[in-house]
């Protein structure tokens, strides 16, 4: 209860409360807590942070709390982006600003769905945005998939990027030939990390453990295998260019795969055209001086195989490990992005001891209270509003599917934030019904023995990682054990 | 004015493939900030915090107009030699999500659309810029990345368009209304 001076009390008596718009400083004592939208975001990757950013910028009162199951924030920016792509990670700076702003709080080490339910969050907040991404991968669904020596690219990436759940992967890198199933940017990333000269990898934030394993790797050749043709590759030109220019490595592209392709791309949009032209040039033309030098002294190779669909992963005699793969030879029906691969009846076998399946990430359902479309692997929604559940929203890969780069997720997150802002403006989120936000959740977590990690706790972990990295000439040495992280901050 | 408090989180990996390519604009000599990424540099963001003096008597002042996604015209006075991304950042122009990778050619969020006659006079585009521009939404044939375009005296009065990024056309109007609350 606030005591008003006599003149102010008169004025307030005249004006109906609903017409008050707080102006100036945010710390006015009058009724602000009743009109403050409290919004909860589940997931602290780019989707979560961009959604938070947009909400905070375009609503002067809203308070946003970001929950994250790991102690540390940033999702795929920390655990997905390749160690040799530090520029892409610059977005962490803007996310850090958001996390440090007044009306934003970060709560790490809280698993929504286990430590606190979505329903409990909906009790505590006016709006809940699910931005928890895609933590699983698509399955090949072929025999031999579970043999030793077969890994999802997602787990492999998690391993070299220090994702706690993948720290004990111990991939067997003693095979000379590696097969990557899939021709997207993740496939190129894993190929590149396997083939990059060690003295370059050493200076990145790749984990110490994986660096040591890669240092004793016998891998000499990596194939990226796709079911369709060159015109359907999912990787983008910057990443392909990096492979073509990779020191110490030479491309193996079959000219027959590219015959007649120049004509086929005459009228396609520029991005696809330039990408295909680079492949054609690499496959068919004599290399320029720079490339010729690299290729002449290359000790490692990478290549693209097209029109091959995996049928079975073949085991060693003892039945325990992968020794090769049997693939169906396909042909294309239709053209362009919608072309499909149809088996021809022919079959091919290839020997290899390490197979990485890079056919896509996959989101998982959160619980029975959140609808989930299993066929498409997304939460059914319209413009980010979860179907049938007022006050529940989603953004990022769990909303759209697991493709796209940071800008895709940024735009998508802004869209969802826009839906929340519209609903606030239209009175659909009943902000006059006071919600306690984290204050309600705090006691729930306490009763369950869960200790959230704050953003300043993360900053301590961050500082420790950077300090350890400095000793090794790296930007940071990631801590891969969540217990170690928690001990560091005194939890 | 936002305080750009940038923690020392990340240092760029400056291997032989990356040096210099992301910073085409030379800052005037009397500027206090290092002009280009050097191999010994440890901050990924110092070039970002362009400490360009606002003293009108030093280097040329150039007026640039940005038409934001909601149609609002944002006018800035730039220094010759800054990139258009620098202008947006240094003057804290309210363009959502602009410059995510901080001018290192790792995204396309500083995508701008130019008038044709201005576009044709810009410095040639590199393969690296085109590679990223190819991923931009609303790509046009007079598109460039703002981090690669340097302000010149001849650009005084320049008007550039921030392309519509949101997927639903109806949003155009809402975005404008919301930020004016």
Q: What phi and psi, each to the nearest 5 degrees, are found at residue B115? A: -70, 145
CB contact under 8 A, A96 and B6: yes
Q: What is the CATH number of the domain that holds A128?
A: 3.40.50.720
Out of A306, A334, A359, pick the residue that ends a domain: A359
Q: Rounded to an integer, what is the distance from CA A266 to the centroid of its chain? A: 34
Same domain, A57 and A115: yes
Q: What is the DSSP letter of A330?
A: E
CA distances from A473 to A85, A202, A269 (A): 16, 8, 43
Is A458 within a domain?
no
Per domain, the residue ranges of chain B are: 64-171
Spell out which residues of chain B touch residue A87, defining contact as CB-CB under 8 Å.
12, 18, 22, 44, 101-102, 104-106
Provide, as residue numbers in chain B, all residues whose Cβ is less than 8 Å from the Cβ of A88.
101, 106-107
Distance (Å, rounded) from C-alpha A477 to C-alpha A473? Answer: 9
Q: Are residues A300 and A427 in the same domain?
A: no
pLDDT tens digits along A336-357: 989 999 999 999 999 999 999 9
Nearest CA-CA distance, residue A353 and chain B, Å: 31
Number of residues written out for chain A:
491
Q: Mean of the per-residue pLDDT values for chain B?
A: 74
pLDDT interval class at A3 (50, 70, 90) = low
Torsion on CA atoms A283, A285, A291, A293, rounded to nearest 10: 110
B112-155 pLDDT, tens digit per residue, is: 999 999 999 999 999 999 999 999 988 999 999 999 999 999 99
Clarify whether residues A272 and A212 are in a common domain: yes
Are A378 and A344 in the same domain?
Answer: no
For residue A266, give the DSSP letter. Answer: T
Contact B17 A245 (CB under 8 A): yes
According to CATH, the topology of domain B64-171 is Ubiquitin-like (UB roll) (3.10.20)
From chain A, pick out residues whose CB is under 8 angstroms from the CB of B22. 87
- Say if residues A41 and A52 touch (Cβ distance below 8 Å): yes
Residue A7 pLDDT class (50, 70, 90 cuts)? low
- Which of the four pLDDT bands, split at 50, 70 and 90, describes residue B164? confident
Mean pLDDT, rounded, for A33-40:
85
Axis-axis angle for helices A185-195, A153-160 (nearest 10):
50
> A459 touching B, CB under 8 A?
yes
Examine the domain organization and report whether A321 and A425 are in the same domain.
Answer: no
pTM: 0.86
Listing DSSP states for A75-133 in one string gives HHHHHTS-TT-GGGGGHHHHHHHHHHSTTEEEEBS--BTTTB-HHHHHHH-SEEEE---
- Interface check for A293 against chain B (CB to CB < 8 A): the answer is no
Q: What is the pLDDT of residue B28?
A: 43
What is the domain range of residue A63? 38-135+362-453
Closest CA of chain A from B153, distance in Å? 30
Distance from CA of B6 to the nearest CA of A (A): 6
- Mean pLDDT estimate for chain A: 93
**pLDDT tens digits along A302-349:** 999 999 999 999 999 999 999 999 999 999 999 998 999 999 999 999
Tokens of B48: 């970002």
pLDDT at residue B35, rounded to an integer: 36
B-chain residue closest to A465, CA distance: B9
Which chain A residues have a beta carbon less than 8 Å from that of B171?
Answer: 415, 418
Percent of chain A's residues with pLDDT above 70: 93
How far A274 CA lies from chain B's nearest CA (Å)? 8
What is the SS3 assignment for A362-419?
ECCCCCCCCCCECCCCECCEECCEECCCCCEEECCHHHHCCCCCHHHHHHHHHHHHHH
Q: Which residues pair with A350 in a beta bridge?
A: A325
Minimal Cβ distance to B181: which of A60, A92, A418: A60
State the total domains in chain A.
2
Binding residues of A for NADP(+) are: 183-186, 227-228, 239, 404
- Token representation of residue A185: 């940017």
For residues A134 and A397, is the Cβ–Cβ distance under 8 A?
yes
Q: A118-161 pLDDT, tens per residue?
A: 999 999 999 999 999 999 999 999 999 999 999 999 999 999 99
Q: Which helix (H) or strand (E) holds A305?
A: strand A300-305
DSSP for chain B, written as a single string: -------S-------TTTTTTT--PPPPTT-SS-SS--TT---SSTTTS------TTSS-EEEEEEE-TTS-EEEEEEETT-BHHHHHHHTT---TTTTTT-SSSS--TTEEE--HHHHHHSPPPPHHHHHHHTT-TT--TTEEEGGG-B--GGGTTEEEEPPP-SS-TTHHHHHHHHHT-
């Amino acid at each position: 209860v606030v005591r008003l001076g006599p003149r102010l009390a008169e004025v307030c008596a005249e004006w109906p409360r609903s017409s008050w718009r707080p102006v100036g400083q945010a710390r006015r004592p009058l009724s602000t807590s009743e009109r403050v939208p409290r919004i909860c975001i589940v997931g602290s990757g780019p989707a979560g942070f961009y959604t938070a950013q947009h909400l905070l910028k375009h609503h002067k009162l809203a308070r946003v709390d970001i929950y994250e199951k790991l102690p540390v924030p940033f999702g795929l920016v920390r655990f997905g982006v390749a160690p040799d792509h530090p520029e892409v990670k610059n977005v962490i700076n803007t996310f850090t600003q958001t996390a440090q702003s007044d009306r934003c709080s970060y709560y790490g080490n809280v698993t929504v769905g286990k430590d606190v339910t979505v329903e409990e969050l909906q009790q505590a907040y006016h709006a809940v945005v699910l931005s928890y991404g895609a933590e699983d991968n698509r399955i090949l669904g072929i025999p031999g998939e579970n043999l030793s020596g077969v890994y999802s690219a997602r787990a492999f990436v998690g391993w070299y990027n220090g994702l706690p759940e993948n720290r004990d992967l111990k991939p067997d890198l003693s095979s000379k030939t590696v097969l990557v199933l899939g021709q997207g940017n993740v496939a190129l990333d894993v190929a590149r990390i396997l083939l990059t000269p060690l003295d370059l990898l050493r200076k990145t934030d790749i984990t110490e453990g994986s660096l040591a394993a890669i240092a004793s790797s016998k891998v000499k050749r990596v194939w990226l295998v796709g079911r369709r043709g060159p015109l359907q590759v999912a990787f983008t030109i910057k990443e392909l260019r990096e492979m073509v220019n990779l020191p110490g490595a030479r491309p193996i592209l079959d000219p027959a795969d590219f015959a007649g392709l120049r004509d086929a791309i005459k009228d396609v949009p520029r991005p696809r055209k330039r990408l295909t032209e680079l492949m054609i040039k690499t496959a068919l033309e004599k290399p320029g001086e720079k490339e010729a030098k690299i290729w002449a002294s290359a000790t490692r190779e990478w290549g693209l195989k097209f029109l091959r669909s995996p049928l079975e992963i073949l085991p060693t005699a003892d039945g325990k490990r992968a020794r090769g793969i049997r693939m169906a030879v396909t042909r294309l029906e239709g053209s362009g992005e919608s072309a499909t691969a149809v088996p021809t009846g022919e079959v091919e076998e290839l020997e290899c001891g390490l197979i990485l399946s890079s056919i896509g990430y996959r989101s998982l359902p959160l619980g029975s209270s959140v609808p989930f479309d299993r066929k498409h692997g997304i939460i059914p929604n319209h413009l980010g509003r979860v179907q049938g559940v007022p006050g529940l929203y989603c953004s990022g890969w769990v909303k759209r599917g697991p493709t796209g780069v940071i800008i895709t997720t940024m735009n998508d997150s802004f869209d969802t934030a826009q839906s929340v802002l519209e609903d606030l403006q239209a009175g659909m989120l009943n902000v006059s019904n006071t919600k306690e936000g984290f204050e309600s959740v705090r006691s729930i977590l306490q009763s369950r023995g869960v200790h959230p990690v704050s953003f300043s706790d993360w900053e301590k972990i961050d500082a420790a990682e950077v300090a350890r990295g400095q000793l090794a000439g790296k930007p940071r040495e990631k801590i891969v054990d969540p217990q170690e992280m928690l001990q560091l901050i005194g939890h | 004015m936002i305080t750009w408090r940038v923690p020392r989180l990340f240092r760029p990996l400056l291997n032989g493939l990356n040096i210099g390519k992301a910073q085409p604009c030379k800052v005037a000599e009397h500027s206090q900030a290092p002009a280009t990424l050097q191999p010994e540099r440890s901050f990924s963001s110092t070039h970002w915090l362009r400490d360009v003096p606002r003293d009108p008597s030093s280097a040329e002042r150039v007026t640039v107009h940005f038409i934001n996604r909601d149609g609002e015209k944002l006018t800035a006075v730039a220094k010759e030699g800054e990139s258009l991304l620098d202008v947006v950042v240094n003057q804290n122009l309210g363009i959502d999500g602009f410059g995510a990778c901080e001018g290192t050619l790792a995204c396309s969020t500083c995508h701008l659309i130019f008038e044709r006659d201005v576009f044709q006079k810009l410095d040639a585009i590199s393969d690296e810029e085109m590679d990223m521009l190819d991923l931009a939404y609303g790509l046009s044939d007079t598109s460039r990345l703002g981090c690669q375009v340097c302000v010149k005296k001849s650009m005084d009065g320049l008007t550039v368009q921030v392309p519509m990024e949101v997927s639903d056309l109806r949003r155009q109007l809402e975005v404008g209304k919301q930020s004016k609350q």
